[in-house]
Amino acid sequence: MKAIQLTAVGKPLEVREVSQPEPTDDEVVVRVAGCGVCHTDIGFWKDGVPTKRPLPLTLGHEVSGTVVAAGTAYRSLLEREVIVPAVIPCGTCDLCAQGRGNACRAQVMPGNDIDGGFAEFIAVPGRGLCEIEDRGDYTLPDLSVIADAVTTPYQAIVRSGLNAGDFAIVVGVGGVGTYCVQIAAAMGAHVVAIDVDQAKLDAVAQHGAGLTVNSAETDFKGLRQQVKARSKEMACPSYGWKIYECSGQPGGQETAYGLLNHAATLMVVGFTLAKIELRLSNLMAFDATAQGTWGCKPELYPEALKLVTSGKVTLKPFIQSFPMSQAPDVVQRVADHRIDKRARLVPDWGS
């Protein structure tokens, strides 16, 4: 079969012939219907973020498809349409037992620990797959981006304890931030979106953001004044804000941290290798919480899927489809910010 592989950091991805996988007893093989391109893939390819498995490696961790082969433990999944979790915990360790499966030290991430979904087929553990009972108004390839792009902010919102009527601030509204805004709004929160890209802000203004602020056009003091005014306008408390840092950029992280107030919660969703300087004592002074959140536990996937198929969260304005054979060029264009939607690769080799 054909797969798109990373062979060396910075070198163009290659379309290569590789062996079609066979499942072990606790695995399944999924015929890939679609695979999203995430900025984590860019990090592995361009920025030198180390992968767990040595190169060459097939990238891609936002996978939807159909189970076409299964080991003895998962025969019941044959011919089922599924979403493959971007992070698959072992399910048996102490962290998993504590409900912290997304921090499981034996977890498997496609396109990192094992070959990923930039391919015709992928072999993955059978545990934790999200079975698709209803596609809603979507095709199976469309739903691939739920793995990570939707589920990662969904877990962040669940773990933050967001309730209806709360004041939510999303910093960085491209990629996962797009869906963070929608999910928070779907849960009944009053949502502020902050970004440096006006087009992205205009898009989320139509999908849940009650206020958008272009941080490139104002200083932090002015930005904070706008946010505080919106909180007052919505009759929200001046404390306890829920802040979601989704930009994965130093500027966005500084903005998010600077917006902390008393009893606030900051969820760090975006990733960057860059460092920032901050006053950690703000957490003490505000009795605030800052928490990282990695991926999403498989048990939350059905709830995230239902938000999409029920129409409470929309994918269509924010995704764009490309033939998988064009993946090397697509990944380059994503890295160069020449594609402003979530790129979705669809196998086109006709095997």
Q: Identify whether 303 is part of a domain.
A: no
Q: Identify whether 306 is part of a domain.
A: no
Sequence-distant (≥ 6) Cβ neighbours of residue 17 within 8 angstroms: 1, 2
Distance CA 339, CA 113 (A): 27
Statement to judge: residues 60 and 167 lie in one domain = no
CATH number, domain of 204, equals 3.40.50.720
CATH number, domain of 100, equals 3.90.180.10
Statement to judge: residues 254 and 326 lie in one domain = no
Residue 126 has which token pair? 């059978």
Q: Supply the pLDDT for residue 340.
A: 87
Instruction: Calculate the CA dihedral of residues 294, 296, 297, 303 and round it to 10 degrees.
Output: 160
Q: Identify whether 7 is part of a domain.
A: yes
Measure CA 122 to chain center: 20
Q: Identify whether 212 is part of a domain.
A: yes
Statement to judge: residues 242 and 287 lie in one domain = yes
Statement to judge: residues 164 and 31 lie in one domain = no
Give the DSSP H/E element, type plus range, for residue 153: helix 151-160
Give the CA distances from residue 278 to residues 160, 251, 275, in Å, rounded to whole numbers and listed in that order.
22, 12, 10
Quote the number of domains for the chain.
Answer: 2
Statement to judge: residues 270 and 342 lie in one domain = no
Statement to judge: residues 170 and 251 lie in one domain = yes
Statement to judge: residues 277 and 176 lie in one domain = yes
Statement to judge: residues 186 and 218 lie in one domain = yes
Render each residue's pLDDT in the chain as its tens digit; 351 residues: 999 999 999 999 999 999 999 999 999 999 999 999 998 999 999 988 999 999 999 999 999 999 999 999 999 999 999 999 999 999 999 999 999 998 999 999 999 999 999 999 999 999 999 999 999 999 999 999 999 999 999 999 999 999 999 999 999 998 899 999 999 999 999 999 999 999 999 999 999 999 999 999 999 999 999 999 999 999 999 999 999 999 999 999 999 999 999 999 999 999 988 999 999 999 999 999 999 999 999 999 999 999 999 999 999 999 999 999 999 999 999 999 899 899 999 999 865
Statement to judge: residues 169 and 48 lie in one domain = no
Statement to judge: residues 122 and 199 lie in one domain = no
Q: Identify whether 50 is part of a domain.
A: yes
DSSP assignments along 159-187, one per residue: HHT--TT-EEEEE--STHHHHHHHHHHHT
Q: What is the pTM of this model?
A: 0.95
Statement to judge: residues 283 and 207 lie in one domain = yes
> Identity (one letter) of the amino acid at 82?
V
Statement to judge: residues 79 and 17 lie in one domain = yes
Distance CA 62, CA 30 (A): 13
Structural domain boundaries enclosing 181:
149-292
Distance CA 157, CA 131 (A): 22
